[in-house]
Amino acid sequence: MVNHKKHTHYINKVMEVFRTDGLRLSLDELADKMGVSRKTLYNHFESKDALLGAFIHSWMTDMKHTLEAAFNHSSDTKANLLGAFEAVDALFSDMTPIFLFDLKKMYPQFSGDEHVLGSGFFKEALKNNLQKGVAEGVYRRDLDTEFMSDYLTFTTFAYYFNKMTTNTGVTMNGFFKNSMAFHLRALVPGEATNH
């Protein structure tokens, strides 16, 4: 029987190593960077794929909880929207191009799941925010919330992943927040004339 607390501890250590060093590490190298033995890793995970699966699951759970908190932080719909994009910036801030490239190349089944699940949850939360903002009069009354949530989610995530995996010299700090600030001009009546 696996000790849940220790299992979580090892997942967190794995997250640190994968995010900074990528996925091409052998289990021996991974164990060394984590400061544990290979046997210890095998006591908690049956394979490197199981380890990666646990990492992806943990990261997605963190993302969901972080976004739920950001989208529901206050009664200010627009502030919550910007806060959610800031939260995504924070979630992705320690992802390196090598990690994203390795994930996409070595484990397309996981990178596909990550993108679909992460952006899928984000899209739903974004749509709820847009609908609430339209009902409150914060966003344009004629806003197609289904289209806009789909468009903003796809363009934002696709652009980010493309830039991070094809141009290792690019910095994406603040990308999500800056992207949303740009798009708010189209969402909020009169916002375009204020900038």
Structural domains for the chain: 1-187 (1.10.357.10)
Q: Which helix (H) or strand (E) holds 24?
A: none
> Taking the C-alpha atoms of 144, 146, 151 and 156 in order, what is their torsion angle to the nearest 10 degrees?
120
pLDDT at 130: 94
Mean pLDDT by 10 residues, the chain (195 residues): 74 86 86 90 85 81 85 89 82 76 72 56 90 94 91 78 65 71 78 49
